[in-house]
Amino acid sequence: MNEQEYDQRLRIETIEMQHLYSVFSHYNRYEPTPYAALDELCETYLFQKQDTVIDFGCGKGRLNFYLHDRFDCSVIGIEMNGQFYEDAIRNMGNYQSRRKRRSGGLRFEQAYAEQYVIPDEANKFYFFNPFSSQIFMKIVDHILDSVERSSRSVDLILYYPTDEYREYLERHTVFDQVDEIRLQDLYDKNHDERFVIYRFDPNKLLQNGYEYSDERNKG
């Protein structure tokens, strides 16, 4: 299916790119992850029904509806722009009208990402370069605060990852890269066309004789 056909099947509207973030220097323009890229991601990296995924800078909610439809997992979209938030809410109404709602939850919240309190059940976090590295660092710190409150393994899923995001994770945090998914027919022309997965696993630290708080303080 092409982009339009995917949107029509889900009864949502997410295709049009907009530049409403131009007045916010730390936030980037709205651009949804291509459906073809999401298909490739989910052929390799499996989401599960019990997952709670947070999409930072969710825009109109494409990722949210895609994952909920495919895996029936809970997905929370965080969007600071009021227009995009309203678009996501309207899409949710249209999406839910196509069939009975299943057990996985859909939720959208209008908030600045760096001010959002991470729920302790969230275990996967998605980023398509929605904001500056400074904001990204704050969010990662909030995620680690949540892990310290409620110990669990968490994954960060980066699409089109920036060098700044990756350098911060690899040099200053307890996250390890566990996978890289290169998009067919695109990666050879543009090496940014990939997903990179980072994971924090508290059990791995314990197996190596470390306490989580000790490792975090070292970062």
Average pLDDT over residues 144-154: 96
Strands (E), the chain: 52-56, 74-79, 106-110, 124-127, 154-159, 176-182, 194-200
Are 53 and 76 a contacting pair, CB within 8 Å? yes
Average pLDDT over residues 28-37: 85
pLDDT surpasses 50 at 22:
no
**Strand 106-110 and strand 74-79: pairing?**
parallel
When pLDDT is cut at 50, 70 and 90, the band that residue 28 belongs to is: low
pLDDT surpasses 80 at 197:
yes
Are 12 and 60 a contacting pair, CB within 8 Å? yes
CA–CA gap between residue 67 and residue 197 (Å, rounded)? 17
pLDDT surpasses 90 at 123:
yes
pLDDT surpasses 60 at 212:
no
Average pLDDT over residues 127-155: 94
When pLDDT is cut at 50, 70 and 90, the band that residue 21 belongs to is: very low
Looking at per-residue confidence, does 99 or 75 come out higher? 75
pTM, entire model: 0.89
Show me where the domains of the chain are located: 3-218
| Confidence (pLDDT) at 120 | 95
Classified by CATH at the fold level, domain 3-218 comes out as Rossmann fold (3.40.50)
